[in-house]
């Protein structure tokens, strides 16, 4: 029988799950129906077989449960407990004290993201070498805080003279239009 192909898994809480082999692009429910069909034809009779062919809901054991319920394996926030006002104050001081600030993933010499690389390259092409950057991957509270600070959901973020310029797409477009050069030239005034 095709049920012999099912595998029984038991997690550390003692909960058993049946896992059926699936075909490409096949859900677990469809796999269960496909593998159960021969069994239903031989033992259940025509009424149940007809129901099964009309895609009746199939009860499939849930694999969405956490593998282990121990609190050590629960999701944890690295920014939990970080004082929001303190982080926002530090960000405000950082963008005020520096003429140009780039919040990015990695550093200009070793970016950890293609978008961050693009913004760093644009700044280099504009001849802007004296800017501060913050690697948000090293500071999770800054990574979340800068998104609230600017009300912008993504990183990288560029600030010139305390004003938020935008993310990668905006900065690259400003560079293409010549607006970024004008903005960076005004930073020294």
Q: Are strands 16-19 and 7-10 parallel, antiparallel or unpaired?
A: antiparallel
Predicted confidence band of residue 31 (pLDDT cuts 50, 70, 90): low
**pLDDT the model gives residue 126:** 94
Rounded to the nearest 10 degrees, what angle do helices 168-177 and 114-125 cross at?
Answer: 30
pLDDT tens-place string over residues 112-138: 999 999 999 999 999 998 899 999 999
Which helix (H) or strand (E) segment is 171 a member of?
helix 168-177
- Going by C-alpha positions, the residue among 40, 43, 39, 31 that lies closest to residue 7 is 31
φ, ψ dihedrals at 153, nearest 5°: -80, -10
Distance, in Å, from the CA atom of 165 to the CA atom of 187, rounded to the nearest integer, reads 13
The DSSP 8-state label assigned to residue 7 in this structure reads E
Instruction: Tell me how far CA of residue 146 lies from CA of 63, 156, 167, in angstroms.
Output: 36, 10, 12
The rounded distance, in Å, linking the Cα atoms of 51 and 151 is 52
Please report which confidence band the pLDDT of residue 91 belongs to, taking 50, 70 and 90 as the band edges.
very high
Q: Which residues of 105-177 form beta strands (DSSP E)?
A: 132-135, 157-160, 163-166
Mean pLDDT of the residues in the chain: 74
Any idea which residue has 């935008």 for tokens? 166
Is the pLDDT at 8 greater than 50? The verdict is no
Residue 85 pLDDT level (bands cut at 50, 70, 90): confident
Residue 59 pLDDT > 70: no
Q: How far apart are CA 164 and CA 105, in angstroms?
A: 17
Indicate the pLDDT class of residue 42, thresholds 50, 70 and 90.
very low
Query: How confident is the model over 152-161, as pLDDT tens digits?
Result: 999 999 999 9
């Amino acid at each position: 029988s095709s049920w012999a192909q099912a595998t029984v898994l038991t997690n550390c809480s003692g909960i058993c799950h049946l896992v059926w082999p699936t075909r490409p692009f096949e859900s677990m429910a469809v796999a269960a129906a496909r593998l159960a069909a021969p069994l239903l034809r031989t033992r259940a009779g025509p009424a149940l077989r007809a129901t099964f062919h009309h895609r009746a809901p199939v009860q499939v054991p849930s694999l969405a449960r956490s593998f282990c319920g121990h609190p050590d394996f629960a999701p944890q926030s690295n920014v939990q407990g970080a004082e929001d006002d303190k982080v926002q104050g530090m960000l405000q001081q950082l963008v005020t004290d520096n003429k140009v600030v780039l919040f990015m993933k990695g550093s200009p010499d070793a970016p950890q993201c293609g978008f961050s690389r693009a913004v760093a390259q644009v700044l280099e092409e504009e001849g802007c070498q004296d800017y501060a950057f913050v690697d948000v991957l090293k500071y999770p509270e800054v990574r979340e805080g800068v998104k609230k600070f600017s009300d912008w959901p993504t990183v990288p973020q560029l600030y010139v003279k305390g004003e938020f310029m935008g993310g990668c797409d905006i900065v690259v477009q400003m560079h293409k239009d010549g607006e970024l050069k004008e903005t960076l030239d005004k930073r020294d005034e």
